Amino acid sequence: MNEEIIWNRLTEIFRDVFEDEDIVIGPETVAQDILEWDSLSNIQLLVAIEKAFDGVKFNTGEVANLKNVGQMVDIIIHRSKE
Amino acid sequence: MSFALLSIQYLSLSMISVLLVSLLSSVIRQLVFLSVNVFFIVYLLGLSGALSTIAFCLLGFALVKIHLKWPALRMLYSLSLFVALFIYMRNYEILQWIFPQEILTSVLSTVGLSFLFFKIIHVLIDAKSNTLRKLEFLTYLNYCLNFTTIMMGPIMRYQDYFDQWHGHKQAIKPTYEAHLDAILRILSGLVKAYILAIWVSKLALQPDTNVLQLSFSSWVIQMYGFFFYLYLNFSGYCDIVIGIGSLMGIRPPENFNKPFIAQNMSDFWLRQHRSLTLWLTDYVFSPTYKQALGSQWLSSYPVLSGNLALMLTMVVSGIWHGASLGFLFFGITHGIYLVIYHTWDHLLSKYLGRKRVNQLRKNWLAKIVGIIITFNAASFAFIFFQLDTHHLLQLFNGLLRS
């Protein structure tokens, strides 16, 4: 899948989960950058991503070690079947 | 505290270790550090305790190796085996009601087993998920047995240990000031744990207190006293080992950040025993919440899913803390607190909107009210943490009768 499409779709998911239309994300974005990004909304976000990208699944170790949005996108690029 | 960090033996062992680990290199450095760790554990636990600790680590390593060799193997079996072994070794009070006395043992229950258990589970899951970096036998053993954190944490992650051991990440800035800071941190920890905590412990609730016979004011003082005692004792201990670890080049993560000024229960657990909270979040809360949100039944009830995962996490936290009944109640109480907070937070943002809730949180009056409620709720839950089973049951009986 085209990386630009991934970023656009991901931005939409972020805005939807965190209920904030002004959110802008990049590879270096981390949880501390978004006020609402806590352990609960983190999982809501990951589940929303898994639903939006066919074939994408995050396992427990990956969830524990995700450092920034860039790593999220890497996993999506590798696993997405579209 | 079972082993005096103030003792001349511990402090000299630490200084020898700091020097050796800083001066040596490669395999010799690993082996010397391993010898220091094993020496410490034998000194602390005796030969049988040390052997059971080391065997526990080796079993963990074998399981990780098996999973790396056969990736298709399900995690469930090895995790269940490991959890069962832990429950047996930890000699949970509840086992006495299920199994005959002859097959139970308290010999294997060693200091720090709970911490070791969580460290190994983390290595196991991360190795299986390919997020461990490189699994090395000696690094793994020293990570598990590291004498600074083996007794009571803070719970370090393998990747963090690995990076600092191999010099990919700096534990401390190579300046005179940073080293002086680390030494001052050790000293302030000693003052907290050995002077202030002992002084405050005279005011604190004891395991054999008959709570119902206390007057209201002495009950409140003892309850607050225990909270402060626990803070001074545990955070003082953490200051000491973080200081020593920094000097040695392997700095454990921070564990405390003024828990008395937490504004809500979720904030409290990020300030109190933080390394445990982060571990529980990653390996209990996140997988269960994710499973619930992705499941057929619960996906349309996100608040309920969150509450179930929060409750489960706190129950695990409770029984992880200790083998007696009080710890289970401690966990359940904190589970209830988090469920109330999560539901309240959800309702507030539903009716007021996220932005207004965030504005409200910045209001000083709301902050003070939040701090008072959280402080009292946290102090109250520590009653279950401190009372032994006999006096806890006595309390429940008395409450039921009245």
Q: Give tens-digit pLDDT for A7-41.
A: 999 999 999 999 889 999 999 999 999 988 999 99
Q: Which of A20, A42, A46, A59 should be substituted to probe chain B, the one whose Cβ sees the most B Cβ atoms within 10 Å?
A: A59
Q: Is the dihedral of CA B363, B365, B369, B375 positive or negative?
A: positive
Local confidence pLDDT in tens for the 402 residues of chain B: 445 777 888 888 899 999 999 889 889 999 999 999 999 999 888 888 899 899 999 999 999 999 999 988 888 888 999 999 888 888 777 777 777 776 666 555 566 889 999 999 999 999 999 999 899 999 999 999 999 999 898 999 999 999 999 988 888 888 999 999 999 999 999 999 999 999 999 999 999 998 888 999 999 999 999 999 999 999 999 999 999 999 999 999 999 999 999 999 999 999 999 999 999 999 999 999 999 999 989 989 999 999 999 999 999 999 999 888 899 999 999 999 999 999 999 999 999 988 888 889 899 999 999 999 999 999 999 999 999 999 999 999 998 987
Q: Which domain holds residue B139?
A: 8-165
Are B153 and B257 in contact by the 8 Å Cβ rule? The answer is no
Q: Residue B306: its chain A contacts at CB < 8 A?
A: 40
Same domain, B245 and B265: no
Residue A19 structural domain: 3-79
Instruction: Say yes or no: B266 and B250 in one domain.
Output: no
Q: Which of residues 227-256 of B touch A (CB under 8 A)?
A: none
Interface contact A62, partner B, CB < 8 A: yes
Structural domain count, chain B = 3
Cβ within 8 Å, pair A61-B354: no
Looking up residue A50, the CATH number of its domain turns out to be 1.10.1200.10
Q: pLDDT value at position B322?
A: 87
What is the helix, strand, coil percentage profile of chain B, to 5? 75, 0, 25
Count of domains in chain A?
Answer: 1
Based on the fold, state whether residues B37 and B128 are members of the same structural domain: yes
Angstrom distances, CA of residue B139 to CA of B40, B143, B147, B208, B230 = 17, 6, 14, 43, 32
- The reply to whether B12 and B159 lie within a common domain is yes
Nearest CB partner across the interface for B283, out of A19, A35, A64? A64
User: Is residue B2 in a domain?
Assistant: no
Same domain, B333 and B269: yes
Residues B34, B272: Cα–Cα separation, whole Å: 30
Same domain for B209 and B323, yes or no, is no
Q: How far is B113 from chain A (nearest CA, A)?
A: 22
Report the gap between the CA of B297 and the closest CA in chain A (Å): 15
CB contact under 8 Å between B342 and A40, yes or no, is: yes
One domain, residues B16 and B160: yes
Residue B62 in domain = yes
Per-residue pLDDT, averaged over A30-55, amounts to 93
Give the pLDDT confidence score for residue B2 in this predicted structure: 45
Residue A44 corresponds to which tokens in the numbers above? 């809501």
Residue of A19, A20, A44 with shortest CB distance to B293 = A44
Report if residue B389 sits inside a domain. Answer: yes
Where does a domain end: B205, B233, B256? B256
Distance between CA atoms of B18 and B91, rounded to whole angstroms? 35
Contact B286 A59 (CB under 8 A): no
Same domain, B153 and B130: yes
Residues B26, B157 share a domain = yes
